[in-house]
Structure 1
């Protein structure tokens, strides 16, 4: 049967009895499983693992080092680094010192880094390497108040910049003289004390500092635990940016549940790492799933012959079986037999590419194309799509890996303890322990976002009778054509990525115009493979994407997309850009969301030419 929200079984006592702070949560975990694996990380070609007691030893030295540097309770300590073991250790050190972590993406511009450090009042900054240190030196010249920079890979200067080893040595000395300092700090942490300050990358304007208390994180971890989604025998592969709220919550879950986590933020190593790490679950943004889907389907199509026919047959059978599972049933009869054959010949081999042990993926941070989600589910790799914002400590909703409970095209049920209602204009409102305390230093913005205890998400959606939430679009992204018809761009953009395996980005335009147009960018790796099959093996990316053959190919996928849209939503004209959109050019946020107004503004002259006749 199809499950609904009222059927879900969860342990309310886990939520009600949650830890007082992240520091308490960590201390409890170390006490429960000191010798179990905690965090793994690559060292050369090998993976090295630390137990919880080993993590505790290093985190305590870091914490004591921060105290020795003058960090007081709720003082901000920033981390400007990619995802790596040291990020996790530094964050835990900040928690044990009763400080508050400010997160900074390593791709953040100098201007925004200095804004975040200055606005947050961060006294110490962990900087990954000399490149990150160089950004901070510009702020030092302006007198931003940073007491010390601690670098993971960079060079210390014996004064303002020290290495992580230097900090740990300082901490060890301090602990020898003040044995109970960390216990005193931890005992003083209250659930409403500031734990994390995350600056929304924002698609417009300056980043805003979102204040998240300890209780927000311990609630998130306890709520997920209470719903029985994960267990201590699981193994997480964590590569998502820890500066992002999604990555941060994935770093908190192991403290609650006790499973080990393999950490490596190198995106180009994900495919290589999966068969080595062999995780049972992993969080990812939709773009990763889109790229994998596009890569495998185009590769099989290029094979041609028997292999392509076998893949298409197996995919069709698997999709039919997936749809049967939507109703909480198992495929039986002839379908069951065909599915067993398809699984042995094709599906199992695809699962092996991911290590062969994945129970499910979790997708968040942007809309997941339903066709891509269906394909993964058909392969036996179900994706639990979720929804949340920085202001709600990431997960507010998530689908469940139970028969009949994962409803593709929705973001699932609310976490236990989170309330939702839909405003008259369709906006999604959220209330619960995961909601932020407010924006740092922005009382008006806080009052606008938090009204009568409800956080106004800015997203439009509906809650289905089953309790699943369906997102329509961002409220501010909806636009009206000159014919008076509303268009939801992100829905169309996501749909296109499931249709065109070569797509990287699609940006819809048409506000106040007589029809909808689009900017298209293509995935470099995929399109260059396509070029080899179409007589352009030696051509560079720009030459390929601006060729007539490429345009004809994309037009075919646009036509297919238009066949799924209302007449007023259909893309009449489009431009293929000679390069992809990037964070560095200011066209995307560090969490890879399109800055729609920036992009359409930058390419307005080109877009205007589409409407000249």
Structure 2
């Protein structure tokens, strides 16, 4: 058993709640732009004073509608300015926010609203309103439904126009540090989603220590962050609260479809994303270079960046020849890549899944360091992250200051700290199992090095045991295979089987480019090419890259290219892009059998 901890850098208030932050900002930084809001396609600044006023106006409407202290109010929307405004408005009315993914099915909406006992829900669109309406008869506690695109903010502002400021002040002060701030339902990779109760204290401990440890990344009046992750996900929520706590300017966009354009217009100094975003940036840049006849130059530049990063901090230092090559490629390639990322940033924080050493070294080598972290819904997002000044690529960093990471005898990662959730809503049995002996049992397998840097090697429940008795952690291989531009998703199989296999789906965006570059018929699809020798050879190269990270007994011997994608709609992946392995295994049982046939 091994454990490691760091002293807290932020003193969690003994009283008060998250609404204190927006009042503090309005007092101490009244004219500082704390939000960026897009109006008619143009970013406009929202000052701390203006944001407080808009939050208070919406909170008055909630109070006028009868929302009482402790009431749960659901919020179902894509990431946008109103999400942040209404989140703080719910807290200012004394309520508890219940996020709902905007992609949720009516059945999921029914479960979350019913289980949480939400008295009101604010949705974004008519489609969301219809989903709620279709199950409303089963939700007796639900009294109000407002729609953002239908003028919800204006309606709440008008409804609360007679509510005095003193009433909002009283409601804002109602919740204490140990009261629930939000109930975040897990994505539900198995079974029904569970509601994680996160207190105001948890967010203070999480975001306060994160901001203090990454102080150079959170400079008031200078730094900015663009939030494109789902605000309903705990990672997106952490970005929201940390930005307000610092404070730095926060901009919101609903998705990553036009991310390059959004980054160019908002020009953030800090990016927080998931590995797939950084993989897309790399793969898109490489594909563009190849299309322009500069593929070899890009590959040489990428190799140089990785070598340059690996040389950082080594006893022998960076060789002069490598420095010169790096300087040349900085002008030819790296500066253009940094421009794609907005042109102002030097750091990003990545979480949600392993980034991989190759990408970590590549981005650090081009002058844009991606700090990898690790966390769960139950830990209020990051429970470990790489410090800006002592990064160890290949790890998820050191524990959040003020918390403890322990590795149990069986390799499970155990956690302790003020940022940990207090339990699952209405589920005492699951709470007792997860919070045993004063420690949160994550279900993840990991190791700690001598400096307290944590590495995650897999999930306890996802460990495969082959017929030969070999334990296999799928994530290690999957992450390497998925790094290939043509691979959308990969799921390793082999539990109880004679060898390890894999199901692979094809990235449709890059398939179109590959089809054009390799002389395949226009309009070819994964379904039409799944047996194509050249495509299979390309995927085999991705599999070989994955196999290089594991022993021969753990390596993928055979794979199947699927004709369709793993989709959230079909229940194969969660909104946070985690595989629902049991659903995939059921839906693609015939494909798995084909791997082991003959």
Q: Shared topology, TM-score over 0.5? A: yes
In 2, Cα distance between equivalents of 1:528 and 1:560: 23
Q: Displacement of 1:48 after TM fit?
A: 2.0
**Map of 1:159 onto structure 2:** none
Partner of 1:50: 46
1:458 is paired with a residue whose SS is strand
1:610 corresponds to: 595
SS at match of 1:476: helix
Query: What's the CA shift string for 1:81-126, capped at 9, x where partnerless?
Result: 0000110110010111111100000001110101100110111101
For residues 13-64 of structure 1, give each alpha carbon's deviation from its aligned partner in whole angstroms, at most 9, with x where no partner exists: x334587311112211221111111211222321122111111111101111
User: Structure 1 CA distance, aligned partners of 2:316 and 2:575?
Assistant: 41
Query: Given the alignment, which residue of 325, 331, 339 partners 1:344?
Result: 331
Query: 2:27 matched to 1:31?
Result: yes
Aligned pairs (5 A) from 1:152-163: 152-154=148-150, 163=152
Q: Which residue of 2 aligns with 1:279?
A: 268
Match of 2:80 among 64, 79, 84: 84
Q: In the alignment, which of 213, 221, 226 is matched to residue 237 of structure 1?
A: 226
1:95 matched to which residue of 2?
91
Unpaired runs of 5+ in structure 2?
Answer: none
Provide the residue aligned with 1:157 in structure 2. Answer: none
Mapped contact 2:37–2:251 kept (Cα < 8 A):
yes
Q: Aligned residue for 2:167?
A: 181
Q: How does 1:301-450 map to 2 (within 5 A)?
A: 301-304=290-293, 307-327=294-314, 331=318, 333-402=320-389, 405-450=390-435
Query: Structure 1 residues 378-387 or 84-93, which shifts more?
Result: 378-387
Deviation at 1:143, TM superposition (A): 3.9
Q: 1:394 to 1:585 in 2, by over 3 A?
A: same
Of stretches 343-352 and 127-136 in structure 1, the one that deviates more from structure 2 is 343-352
Q: 1:18 to 1:408 in 2, by over 3 A?
A: farther
Correspondent of 1:108 among 99, 104, 108: 104
Answer whether contact 1:20 1:218 (CA < 8 A) is retained.
no
- Provide the rounded CA distance (Å) in 1 between the counterparts of 2:134 and 2:292: 53
Query: Offset at 1:544?
Result: 4.9
Q: Match for 2:208 among 207, 222, 226?
A: 222
Match of 1:579 among 549, 560, 564: 564
Contact persistence 1:321–1:378 (CA under 8 A): yes
1:528-570 per-position Cα deviation (integer Å, ceiling 9, x unaligned): 1110111235224245542513223212332343344311112
Question: Aligned equivalents of 1:386 and 1:336: distance in 2?
Answer: 29
Task: Tell me the residue number matched to 1:477.
Answer: 462
User: What is the rounded CA distance, in whole Å, between the counterparts of 2:316 and 2:495 in structure 1?
Assistant: 45
Which one of the candidate residues 238, 250, 255 is aligned to 1:261? 250
Q: Distance in 2 between matches of 1:332 and 1:171?
A: 66
Residue 599 in structure 1 maps to residue 584 in structure 2 = yes
After TM superposition, list the pairs within 5 Å mapping 1:284-295 onto structure 2. 284-295=273-284
Cα distance in 1 between the residues matched to 2:528 and 2:403? 49
Of 362-371 and 141-150, deviating more is: 141-150
What is the CA–CA distance in structure 1 between the aligned matches of 2:505 and 2:159, rounded to whole Å? 50
2:197 aligned to which of 204, 211, 230: 211
Contact 2:74-2:120 within 8 A present in 1 as well: yes
Q: Residues 340-375 of structure 1, C-alpha deviation per residue, up to 9 Å, x if partnerless?
A: 222122211111111211121111111222212221
CA contact (8 A) 1:79 1:102 kept: yes
Deviation at 1:224, TM superposition (A): 1.3
Q: Are 1:40 and 2:40 an aligned pair?
A: no
Counterpart of 1:201 (choices 170, 182, 187) is 187
Residue-by-residue CA offset, 1:217-276 (whole Å, 9 max, x unaligned): 111121012212422121101111010000000000122111101111232121111111
Match of 1:456 in 2: 441
Q: Say yes or no: does 1:134 pair with 2:134.
A: no
TM-score norm. by structure 2 comes to: 0.95
- SS of aligned partner of 1:173: coil
Contact 1:274–1:353 (CA under 8 A) maintained in structure 2: yes
Q: Does 1:122 align with 2:109?
A: no
Task: Tell me what 1:510 maps to.
Answer: 494
Contact 1:369 1:497 in 2 (8 A): no
For the aligned residue pairs, the C-alpha RMSD in angstroms reads 1.9
**In structure 2, what is the Cα distance between the partners aligned to 1:464 and 1:214?**
32
CA distance in 2, matches of 1:41, 1:238: 12
Map Cα deviations across residues 390-410 of structure 1 (whole Å, 9 max, x no partner).
0010011011111xx111111
Partner Cα separation in structure 2 for residue 205 and residue 489 of structure 1: 21
Q: Deviations over 1:130-151 (max 9, x none)?
A: 1011111122222432111111
Change (3 A) 1:141 1:328: farther
Q: TM-score, normalization: structure 1? A: 0.93
